[in-house]
Amino acid sequence: DSGVTQTPKHLITATGQRVTLRCSPRSGDLSVYWYQQSLDQGLQFLIQYYNGEERAKGNILERFSAQQFPDLHSELNLSSLELGDSALYFCASSVNDGPTLHEQFFGPGTRLTVL
């Protein structure tokens, strides 16, 4: 158990809908990262937050957004869903994001299926 929790574990929805994925980082970790893992594109970094502020952006679509709350949990919002958004979404956390990256601890993932 990494200490990172993600809910829900599975999510099935229809095209055009909007969903929210939730992540609670390990106790004491200030950085939260979101990743998308699909069979055809591998592991894609989406976005990082550090202590409530956006720190780095990867291949995140405009239909997707995220935020980190004062209690450090984070939510990833996916809207106008398309079939191609079906994937495993991982959250990871780390202590900081300084010059030397400490280990990222991954949650178990949320499997999103868009029908």
- Under the binding rule (CB under 8 A), the answer on residue 22 touching another protein is no
Q: Which one of the spans 21-29, 39-47, 65-73, 74-82 is the region binding another protein (CB under 8 A)?
A: 39-47
List 34, 97, 112, 114, residue binding another protein (CB under 8 A): 97
CB closer to another protein out of 14 and 43: 43
List, in order, residues 6 or more apart from 82 with CB less than 8 Å away.
Answer: 15, 114
Contact between residue 27 and residue 3 where contact means Cβ atoms under 8 Å apart: yes
List, in order, residues 6 or more apart from 13 with CB less than 8 Å away.
Answer: 19, 81, 112, 113, 114, 115
Q: Which one of the spans 22-30, 37-45, 63-71, 79-87 is the region binding another protein (CB under 8 A)?
A: 37-45
CB of residue 55 to another protein, shortest distance in Å: 7
Footprint of another protein on this chain (CB under 8 A)? 2, 4, 33, 42-43, 45, 48, 55-58, 90, 92, 97-101, 103-109
